[in-house]
Amino acid sequence: MFKRSEQDKRPQVQIFVDGVAVAARQGDTVSAALLASGRDARRSTAVSGAPRLPYCMMGVCFDCLVTIDGVGNRQGCLVPVAEGMQIEIQKGKREIGR
Amino acid sequence: MSVAPKREDYDVVVIGAGPAGLAAAATSAEAGLSTLLLDENIGPGGQVFRAISSTPVTNRNQLGADYWIGADLVQSLRASSAEVIHRATVWSLDRNLDIAVSICGASAFVRAKRVILATGALERPFPIPGWTLPGVMTAGAAQTMLKSSALVPDGRTVIAGQGPLLWLLAAQILRLGGRIDRILDTTTRGNYFAALPHAFAFLSSPYFAKGLSMMREVKAKVQVVSGVTELAAFGDGQLANVSYVAGGKRETIPADLLLLHQGVVPNVNLAMAAGIEHRWDDLQLCWSPVLDGSGNSSVAGIAIAGDGAGIGGANAAIVRGRIAARAAVEALAPAAAAKLAPMATLRADLAKAERGRVFLDTLFRPAPQFRIPSGDTVVCRCEEVTAKDVLDSVAIGATGPNQLKAYRRTGMGPCQGRLCGLTVTELMAQARGKTPQEIGYYRLRAPVKPITLAELAAVPKSEDDVKAVVRG
């Protein structure tokens, strides 16, 4: 859906998406890194289980909700990637305690 | 990294580091007031100057000269004594000017003598059939990725809607080597005539020449379909096709990415939760705060600057930020105001920056069918409530957006009505034969962004706080 411009010379940052290593760039948000990865990053909604991807990328729509380092329902578009970050794609409701 | 505010009390707290907030904080700090700037994003710039200090897009021509103005604003701010905290989400502001802010999972509390809200705008909801499908995003979302991560559309891409941002985004995508297959222009034909009486001011504004050259640049490379009157996205769990009607003829094209845009509207959540009076703006079709000439709201001590004060664009936002900050300085430290640009000069700057706005508002006033959906089209994305659901609730007695919550939970999901509020107001107003002003809006309350219970529980509390809620 998206590709990186060749002029992007930012250093790589390794994150893990559902346990799989993904190369992101320093300064990417979690949502941008997921969309750039080419992986299927669709979450499913809490209400009907419908698949969703980020819609607004500016902290408004909450369609980028994702589990980051064990904490659920984070807005992936507002959180910058960090080396070794563990991302889990959310399926359905947030689980109690996560 | 967790950075709490250095003090508990400030002369001025500015919320939002877009054009208005950057200008307001720098002005207030330059005049010697203790100033705190709180911003939700990773770095300064807001949306229009997004990633201004970190963008990987190094070729300055690709983002355009208007973008790089933001670098000067950031420089002025950094040269000032203002304290700046990013990734700081303000979740409460009240009439006492007490502010609660979440920073890296912990809440801090500060009090201000003056608050300048610069929470900007968000893209108007564009509730067409299929707008919740993965692969449908806002134009602003694509622009955010382009500015902050140099990401451009790669698959079959359709851009649909209207307004200056749409053309700017298209030009930027093309300059960075991205792909656009088709642009579907939804500008209502009748709007050209309605806008004509306001054309003179626009023709003599800087927007005109810039807009024209950008449209030429895009039209040379992309097929543009104008007069689009219907729009829908289709796919099974993922966008597959975009269908539209133009000139009475329906066409369906395959697409991987659909970028929607029909203008921006004030981001009202924090201002409304603080109790600030808003009125329905019938030209801009949104809620705008009731403000005086210096941006002061109906709540004493809170001013609003930038697009949150009514859409005016980045240049107007910068000046409104300076005006609101100067007004704060005049109130708190009148002697220091002499250092700043005179109010008369600022007001003249604002009039200049707002030139041509009525023309743009009239020309790009979105058509009813793109604002007020019908049938199975989703209105509330969070709670997955359709237009038919809303109308059924009206039929059995729901009178307005607040009652509708009890029927359908609209606006009660995580986005707190940001992406359904305007649609619900207009849909219910139409169904009940009332004006949007009569129908009203959701009653918004803190926390204006979700925070965890753990974060709330960890808030420091006094013995009196505990006594106030413990029975017996």
Integer Cα distance of B247 and B223 in angstroms: 16
CA distance A57 to chain B (A): 5
Question: How high does pLDDT run on average in chain A?
Answer: 95
Helix, strand or coil, per DSSP, at residue B399: coil
Distance of CA B171 to the CA centre of its chain: 22
Query: Does A55 contact B137 at a Cβ distance shorter than 8 Å?
Result: yes
Burial annotation B29-59 (CB, 10 A radius, 16+ → b, else e):
bbbbbbbbbbbbbbbbbbbbbbbbebbbbee
| Predicted pLDDT at B448 | 97
What is the sign, positive or negative, of the torsion defined by CA atoms of B172, B243, B247, B200? Answer: negative
Whether the full predicted model's pTM is greater than 0.95, yes or no, is yes
Q: Which residues of A touch B137 (CB under 8 A)?
A: 53-57
Query: Does B134 contact A52 at a Cβ distance shorter than 8 Å?
Result: yes
Q: Is B173 on the interface with A (CB under 8 A)?
A: no
Strands B257-262, B157-162: pairing is: parallel
Neighbouring C-beta atoms of residue B204, cutoff 10 Å: 11
CA distance A86 to chain B (A): 17
Question: Which residues are within 8 A (CB) of B181 and not within 5 positions of it... i.e. 6 or more apart?
Answer: B156, B157, B158, B222, B223, B253, B255
Query: What are the per-10-residue average pLDDT scores of chain B (472 residues)?
Result: 86 98 98 98 97 95 95 97 98 98 95 98 98 98 98 98 96 97 96 91 83 93 98 98 97 98 98 98 97 98 98 97 98 96 97 94 97 98 98 97 97 96 98 98 96 91 88 74
CB B215 within 8 A of CB B159: no
* Chain A CA closest to residue B145: A32
| Predicted pLDDT at B208 | 85
Gap between the terminal Cα atoms of chain B: 42
Q: Which residues of B touch A63 (CB under 8 A)?
A: 132, 381
CB B63 within 8 A of CB B147: yes
Q: Which residues of A touch B140 (CB under 8 A)?
A: 56-58
Q: Which residues of B touch A45 (CB under 8 A)?
A: 384
| Predicted pLDDT at B461 | 87
Instruction: Indicate the residue of B148, B383, B415 with minimum beta-carbon distance to A27.
Output: B148
Q: Which residues of A touch B151 (CB under 8 A)?
A: 2-5, 32, 35-36
Angle, in degrees to the nearest 10, between helices B343-353 and B314-332: 160
Query: Does B150 contact A55 at a Cβ distance shorter than 8 Å?
Result: no
* Chain B CA closest to residue A44: B237
| Predicted pLDDT at B2 | 54
CA atoms within 13 Å, Cβ hemisphere of B283: 12
Instruction: Indicate the residue of A45, A50, A56 with minimum beta-carbon distance to B141.
Output: A56
pLDDT tens digits along B352-382: 999 999 999 999 999 999 999 999 999 999 9
* Chain B CA closest to residue A55: B137
Instruction: Indicate the residue of A1, A29, A48 with minimum beta-carbon distance to B257.
Output: A1
* Chain A CA closest to residue B177: A5
Q: Is B262 on the interface with A (CB under 8 A)?
A: no
* Extended beta strands in B291-413, E state: 302-304, 378-380, 385-386
| Predicted pLDDT at B1 | 44
Burial annotation B241-265 (CB, 10 A radius, 16+ → b, else e):
bbbbebeeeeeeeebbbbbbbbbbb
Query: Does B154 contact A59 at a Cβ distance shorter than 8 Å?
Result: no
Query: Does B267 contact A28 at a Cβ distance shorter than 8 Å?
Result: no
Write out residues 311-340 of B within 8 Å (CB-CB) of A. Answer: none
Which residue, among B266, B15, B47, B250, has the nearest Cα to B138 in the 3D structure? B47
Query: Does A55 contact B138 at a Cβ distance shorter than 8 Å?
Result: yes
Q: Is B132 on the interface with A (CB under 8 A)?
A: yes
Which residues are paired to B50 by β-bridges?
Answer: none
Interface test mutation site (partner A, options B50, B58, B132, B149, max chain A beta carbons within 10 A): B149
Query: Does A3 contact B40 at a Cβ distance shorter than 8 Å?
Result: no
Comparison of pLDDT for A96 and B260, the residue scoring more: B260
Query: Does B418 contact A5 at a Cβ distance shorter than 8 Å?
Result: no
Q: Is B145 on the interface with A (CB under 8 A)?
A: yes
| Predicted pLDDT at B419 | 97
Query: Does B59 contact A7 at a Cβ distance shorter than 8 Å?
Result: yes
Query: Does A10 contact B132 at a Cβ distance shorter than 8 Å?
Result: no
* Chain A CA closest to residue B104: A79
Q: Is B384 on the interface with A (CB under 8 A)?
A: yes
Instruction: Indicate the residue of A32, A71, A73 with minimum beta-carbon distance to B149.
Output: A32
Query: Does B148 contact A29 at a Cβ distance shorter than 8 Å?
Result: yes
Q: Which residues of B touch A42 (CB under 8 A)?
A: 134, 237-238
